[in-house]
């Protein structure tokens, strides 16, 4: 029996179901259920929410989310070996855990969830950034989610909360901070995971704002920011040359010096530039 429920400890679950970690699937498991419950608490009050979890693996965070009172958890897992272990959790919490086997990049979770929806995950490193960018860039706002509570490599977490002028400031910071509040809420050493990864990790909590901080079209802003930071050492007028005709005039109209570099431009500047570029 474990600390948070009457299911077996995760080490036993892994041994029983032969869940040796696979690097190709980004498998670094959390086995301490007190820690997974703590991560679940960072997601906020779960009692009235459905929770989307990507990559439940043997179910440590899933159990944390359910023991913290999530109304329902929808867990999407690519590794079929994990399904029997997850089925045991579903039996323990009847009607509260739905597991879908598949690639989170291909599955639309919204068919299975009722708002309000929170997302919580110890993300597989190989798809984590792509999923985050998708969740941050829907054409309309607010998005389907109320909050995202996500484990990343520490370096990625720092890029999400970075401020202008810092080395970590880039596309992720602009897209995350444009329409949400983002903060690092927990830091974890490699030893918190089995097997331990090479780097430290951190949990980032993002809360969706009701409206964007500054007006801009999501697709145009994404394009402008991607181009600006793709060649971050270049002056903006050179980095953005292919983005729109007369880019120097548009930069000036947005209040940005064409000789500045991307990392000097605050969020407000990028949104102003996206509006100028959108004029066609």
| Residues 206/176, Cβ–Cβ less than 8 Å | yes
Region from 100-108, 138-146, 165-173, 244-252 binding ligand SAM, contact rule CB under 6 A: 100-108
Region from 21-29, 157-165, 233-241, 247-255 binding ligand SAM, contact rule CB under 6 A: 21-29
Q: Is 104 an interacting residue with respect to ligand SAM (CB under 6 A)?
A: yes
Question: Which lies closer to ligand SAM via its Cβ, residue 56 or residue 170?
Answer: 56
The binder of ligand SAM chosen from 7, 14, 29, 157 (CB under 6 A): 29
Q: Is 192 an interacting residue with respect to ligand SAM (CB under 6 A)?
A: no
Q: Is 56 an interacting residue with respect to ligand SAM (CB under 6 A)?
A: yes
Reference 177, options 139, 144, 132, 119; nearest CA is 132
Q: Is 55 an interacting residue with respect to ligand SAM (CB under 6 A)?
A: yes
Helical (H) or strand (E) element with 147 = strand 145-153
Contacts of 24 (CB under 8 A, 6+ apart): none
We find the least distance from the C-beta atom of residue 75 to ligand SAM, in angstroms, to be 8
Reference 269, options 169, 176, 164, 182; nearest CA is 164
Question: Which lies closer to ligand SAM via its Cβ, residue 57 or residue 269?
Answer: 57
Region from 26-34, 159-167, 170-178, 181-189 binding ligand SAM, contact rule CB under 6 A: 26-34
Q: Is 26 an interacting residue with respect to ligand SAM (CB under 6 A)?
A: yes
**Cis amide leading into 142 (omega within 30):** yes
| Residues 81/18, Cβ–Cβ less than 8 Å | yes
| C-alpha separations of 69 from 6, 45, 74, 122, 249 in Å | 15, 8, 14, 18, 54
| Residues 169/265, Cβ–Cβ less than 8 Å | no
We find the least distance from the C-beta atom of residue 276 to ligand SAM, in angstroms, to be 37
Question: Which lies closer to ligand SAM via its Cβ, residue 7 or residue 267?
Answer: 7
Question: Which lies closer to ligand SAM via its Cβ, residue 20 or residue 210?
Answer: 20
Contacts of 108 (CB under 8 A, 6+ apart): none
We find the least distance from the C-beta atom of residue 127 to ligand SAM, in angstroms, to be 5
Q: How far apart are CA 148 and CA 156, in angstroms?
A: 15
Total binding residues toward ligand SAM, as defined by CB under 6 A: 23
Q: Give contact residues for ligand SAM (rule: CB under 6 A).
A: 25-30, 54-57, 60-61, 76-79, 82, 103-105, 122, 124, 127
């Amino acid at each position: 029996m474990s600390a948070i429920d009457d299911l077996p400890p995760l080490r036993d679950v892994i041994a029983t179901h032969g869940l040796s970690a696979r690097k190709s699937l980004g498998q670094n498991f959390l086995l301490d259920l007190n820690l997974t419950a703590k991560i679940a608490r960072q997601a906020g009050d779960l009692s009235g929410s459905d929770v989307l979890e990507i990559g439940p693996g043997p179910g440590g965070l899933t159990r944390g989310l359910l023991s913290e009172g999530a109304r329902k958890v929808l867990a999407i897992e690519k590794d079929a070996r994990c399904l029997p272990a997850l089925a045991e959790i579903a039996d323990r919490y009847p009607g509260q855990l739905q597991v879908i086997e598949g690639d989170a990049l291909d599955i639309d979770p919204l068919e299975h969830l009722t708002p309000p929806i929170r997302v919580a995950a110890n993300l597989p490193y190989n798809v984590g950034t792509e999923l985050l960018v998708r969740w941050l860039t829907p054409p309309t706002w607010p998005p389907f989610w109320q909050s995202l509570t996500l484990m990343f490599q520490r370096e990625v977490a720092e890029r999400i909360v970075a401020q202008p002028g810092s080395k970590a400031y880039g596309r992720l910071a602009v897209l995350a901070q444009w329409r949400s509040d983002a903060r690092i809420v927990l830091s974890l050493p490699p030893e918190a995971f089995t097997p331990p990864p090479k780097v430290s990790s951190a949990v980032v909590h993002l809360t969706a704002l009701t409206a964007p901080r500054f007006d801009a079209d999501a697709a145009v802003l994404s394009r402008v920011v991607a181009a600006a930071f793709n060649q971050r050492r270049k002056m903006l007028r050179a980095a953005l040359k292919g983005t729109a005709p007369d880019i120097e005039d548009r930069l000036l109209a947005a209040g940005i010096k064409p000789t500045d570099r991307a990392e000097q431009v605050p969020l407000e500047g990028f949104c102003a530039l996206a509006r100028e570029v959108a004029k066609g």
